[in-house]
Amino acid sequence: MRVATWNVNGLRARQDFLLRWLAERRPDVVALQELKLEDGLFPSAELEAVGYRALCHGQKSWNGVAILSREPAEPLQVGLPGQEALGARLLAARVGGVHAVSVYVPNGKSVGHEDFPRKLAWLECLAGWVEQHRGEPLVVGGDFNVCPTGLDSWDEERLHGRIFHTDEERARFARLLEIGLVDLFRAQHPSLRAFSWWDYRAGAFHRGHGLRIDFLLASERVAKRLRAAEIDRDWRKKQDGLTPSDHAPVWADLEPAAG
């Protein structure tokens, strides 16, 4: 079973890119973020034509999350309870023997911005929600807008204490791991410096100035089935003239569930 997450940075702009990636990688379940469209504009028919069903929690121009799957999915949660004011940022569904969750954590903008404490509160609510569902076979995929450690940043020395690199953000991410979630990429690659996001500006991608802020986190019972996990760095590059997202997809392969 292949599960994946991808912040597409605008689905309308990235639709053909997404369809190409789906045909190439053939994931079974995909968590998408930053759709930037309302539910009525979601390209369900185009995705069904290539074998994917979709659940969507959209929003005009901003945010938006979705779950794509080869099998029918049963909705479990639409929106993070108590955090609706920050937009369409969480969607959960039961599919393929897992509870798939797509999350798009608020950016926070800067440490001194009023959005920063809202980001911290959102992460606290997410941890509370995960704790309530800790006994389930969770796969939480998304853009967390946090570099958990210095290994996940291209310049920890310079950036420590800035947005994505603060002790406050890292403590809240660490809480998810304390509850029992496992970072699948890091479980597979304990010491590899690799990134999932690069700014469009200043040649950041080619200069290696990136951050690892996109994650597949799984409950321990799911993580035990892990076979492989990768960041699809090549899909941060243009494909036949198609402009990529500023995020790369992240995917993991799981052994079939026992029984």
* E strands present in the chain: 2-7, 29-33, 53-57, 65-69, 74-78, 90-95, 98-104, 138-143, 181-183, 197-198, 210-211, 214-219, 226-231, 250-254
The answer to whether 52 is a known catalytic residue is: no
CB atoms < 10 A from the CB of 170, how many? 18
Q: Which member of 52, 104, 152, 214 is catalytic? A: 104
Length of the chain in terms of residues written: 259
Q: Which long-range contacts (CB under 8 A, 24 or more apart) does 82-89 make?
A: 82/125, 83/121, 83/122, 83/125, 86/118, 86/122, 87/59, 87/62, 87/63, 88/35, 88/57, 88/58, 88/59, 88/63, 88/64, 89/63, 89/65, 89/122
Distance of CA 186 to the CA centre of its chain: 15
Task: Fill in the DSSP letter of residue 247.
Answer: B
CB 165 within 8 A of CB 153: yes
Cα dihedral 35, 3, 102, 155, rounded to 10, equals: -80
The answer to whether 214 is a known catalytic residue is: no
Q: Which member of 39, 52, 115, 143 is catalytic? A: 143
Q: Which of 57, 60, 173, 163 is nearest to 115 (CA)?
A: 163
Which positions are catalytic?
Answer: 104, 143
